């Protein structure tokens, strides 16, 4: 699992699958591309999350990301707010995803940060 994919998983709403893949998450957090202090911080964060009860982790996520626009994980909400430009930006982003063979599930908004990180994880680094 790439570091970008890991970050997307960690930002996404914590579901039971997260705990089933704990070893993979810890392995990805040991990415040698990170400076050692950041790597240790990330591994500690993942370990703490995996040791947290799922319902508590979900409540924390909701308290952080689902309580208003300032912490929204929908990028275009921060960029475009409620303007019409937001809709066109989403259409354009879907086009970028499709151009590179990345299809969205019907329930996903294209500007959801964990989804964007997953897309970027499949792209060449440059």
What pLDDT does 71 receive?
87
Q: Determine the angle formed by the axes of helices 36-50 and 3-11, rounding to 10 degrees.
A: 40
pLDDT of residue 83: 75
pTM of the model: 0.85
Q: Cα–Cα distance between 116 and 5 in angstroms, integer?
A: 9
- Mean pLDDT, range 86-112, rounded to an integer: 89
Nearest to 125 by CA among 33, 27, 46, 42: 33
CA–CA separation, 74 vs 83, rounded Å?
14
**Phi, psi values for residue 112, rounded to 5°:** -70, 120
Task: Supply the Cα-derived Rg of the chain in whole angstroms.
Answer: 16
d(CA 60, CA 85): 32
pLDDT of the residue at 29: 96
Residue 69's pLDDT band, with cuts at 50, 70 and 90, is confident
Distances, alpha carbon 10 to alpha carbons 23, 43, 96, 117, in Å: 14, 12, 24, 11
């Amino acid at each position: 699992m790439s570091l970008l994919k890991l970050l997307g998983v960690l930002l996404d709403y914590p579901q039971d699958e997260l705990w089933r893949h704990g070893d993979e998450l810890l392995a990805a957090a040991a990415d040698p591309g990170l400076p050692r202090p950041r790597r240790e911080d990330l591994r500690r964060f993942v370990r703490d999350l995996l040791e947290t009860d799922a319902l508590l982790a979900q409540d924390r996520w909701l308290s952080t990301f689902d309580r208003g626009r300032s912490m929204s994980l929908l990028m275009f909400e921060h960029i475009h707010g409620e303007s019409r430009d937001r809709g066109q930006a989403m259409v354009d982003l879907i086009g970028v995803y499709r151009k590179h063979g990345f299809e969205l599930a019907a329930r996903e908004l294209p500007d959801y940060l964990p989804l964007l990180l997953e897309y970027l994880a499949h792209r060449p680094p440059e």
